[in-house]
Amino acid sequence: MRTWQVAGGVIEGPTGVLLVQNRRRDGRLDWSTPGGVVDRGETVIEGLTREVAEETGLVVAAWQGPIYEIEAEAPDLGWLLKVEVHVATDVAGELVVDDPDGIVVDACYVAPDLCGGHLAHSPLWVRDPLHAWLGERWDGNRSFRYRIDGTDPRDLRVSALH
């Protein structure tokens, strides 16, 4: 089972939450908060700060959290995804999309009540925790767990585990 450590960042601006549009290997597009895979030898915060800068041009000097953690297991695909999501508390720079990995193709700030439209085609494990946090803005950390069954990315069955 391959395990990925991923970091996500909630960055708020005057008009809403920063979302990035990702082009997946099969050509699908979906939206998420900025972030990505933490490289070997990096801490989660180091990886998150690097990924945000690469994807958006923004420099984050301070993070709070994690505000939530996600574990998504896909036994049929042979992977386990572990995600920590933090909130940026000190952000500088101009929003510029120039992802060296070519995954992020767009970015914009979205009012919290409009995030649902952007996230409609995103995986359940991406959209549900963010919706929950935007609705409650809790202190501390919460955990979300999911099981993904199937092998076709267009036809996966995702279950939230409690």
Provide the CATH number for the domain around residue 103.
3.90.79.10
Looking at the predicted structure, is the pLDDT value of residue 7 above 90? yes
d(CA 65, CA 105) in angstroms, rounded, equals 27
Total domain count, the chain = 1
> Given the structure tokens 């990995």, which residue do they identify?
101
Residue 150: CB atoms within 10 Å: 13
Q: The pTM is what? A: 0.95
For 72, the domain range is 2-161
d(CA 98, CA 48) in angstroms, rounded, equals 16
* Average of per-residue pLDDT values in the chain: 96
Mean pLDDT over residues 5-26, rounded? 95
Mean pLDDT over residues 129-143, rounded? 96
Looking at the predicted structure, is the pLDDT value of residue 136 above 80? yes
Looking at the predicted structure, is the pLDDT value of residue 135 above 90? yes
